[in-house]
Amino acid sequence: MAALRSTGAALAIAASMLTSAPACHAKPSTAIGVATATVFRPLRVVAVADMNFGTVTHAAGSGGTVTVSPGGAGAAFSGGASAVCTASDCLAAHAALFSVSGEPQRNYAIQLPASITATGVATDPGATAPPLVVNGLTLRTTSGTGQPRFDASGADRFEVGGTITLPADLPPARYRASFAVIVSYS
């Protein structure tokens, strides 16, 4: 029985040695990882000039459209729409102008809304000015007709034009609309 007791004690000691010793005696392996980051200048876009369709009128009972194009001078009229020209009014029509800055020599993208709704305040007492839609938004950048790109100093400019539709029998009113342009690196 003494032999059994000593064998049992030896087994208990051997079992505790096995559980406290590492299961594998392999040498650890080491690798070096690398973390990188590229930091660009933040994008900045500033409205320089608002889109302006000028002062317009339309023939009684007839609607029409007024279009201002990027890079164009003045407005183009169709249907019953026409300009009310005084020296400053005829020169006032132009596309919106924005300046944008970011990382030099990098491409960027411009996102425009599909359309803009302009709200108006009628100038005749008792009249109601219905909302007008500006659609057909067009874009032109200083960097060219392809992918917009910042120059060596990280600057560019772009213009946004569009077409406003005047319904028949529109009362005299002053209209205004705000729209967002979104600029992102591409």
pLDDT tens readout for residues 72-130: 778 899 999 988 876 665 668 899 999 999 999 999 999 999 999 999 999 999 999 99
Domain count, the chain: 1
Residue 159 lies in a domain: yes
Which tens digits make up the pLDDT trace of 28-45?
999 999 999 999 999 999
Residue 52 lies in a domain: yes
Percent of the residues in the chain that have a pLDDT greater than 70, as a whole number:
83
Residue 43 lies in a domain: no
Which tens digits make up the pLDDT trace of 5-14?
444 444 444 4
Residue 61 lies in a domain: yes
Residue 127 lies in a domain: yes
Q: Can you list the alpha helix ranges (DSSP code H) found in 21-134?
A: 87-92
* Average pLDDT score over residue span 48-76: 90
- Residue 119: per-residue pLDDT: 97
Residues 6+ apart with CB under 8 A from 147: 107, 109, 186
Q: Which of the pair, 144 or 118, is modelled with greater confidence?
A: 118
Residues 6+ apart with CB under 8 A from 154: 41, 101, 102, 103, 104
In the beta sheet, which residues pair with residue 183? 110
* Average pLDDT score over residue span 50-62: 89
| Residues 133-136: contacts with CB under 8 Å, at least 24 apart | 133/164, 133/165, 134/51, 134/162, 134/163, 134/164, 134/177, 134/179, 135/162, 135/163, 135/165, 136/67, 136/162, 136/163
Residue 25 lies in a domain: no
User: Which pTM value belongs to this model?
Assistant: 0.79
- Residue 173 pLDDT exceeds 80: yes
- How far apart CA 24 and CA 45 sit, in angstroms, is 61
Structural domain that includes position 156: 48-185
- Residue 58: per-residue pLDDT: 85
Residue 32 lies in a domain: no
In the beta sheet, which residues pair with residue 175? 120
- How far apart CA 117 and CA 132 sit, in angstroms, is 6
- Residue 4 pLDDT exceeds 50: no
- How far apart CA 63 and CA 37 sit, in angstroms, is 56
Q: Which of the pair, 26 or 107, is modelled with greater confidence?
A: 107
Q: Which of the pair, 17 or 26, is modelled with greater confidence?
A: 26
- Residue 85: per-residue pLDDT: 74
Q: Are 135 and 162 in contact (CB under 8 A)?
A: yes
Residue 11 lies in a domain: no
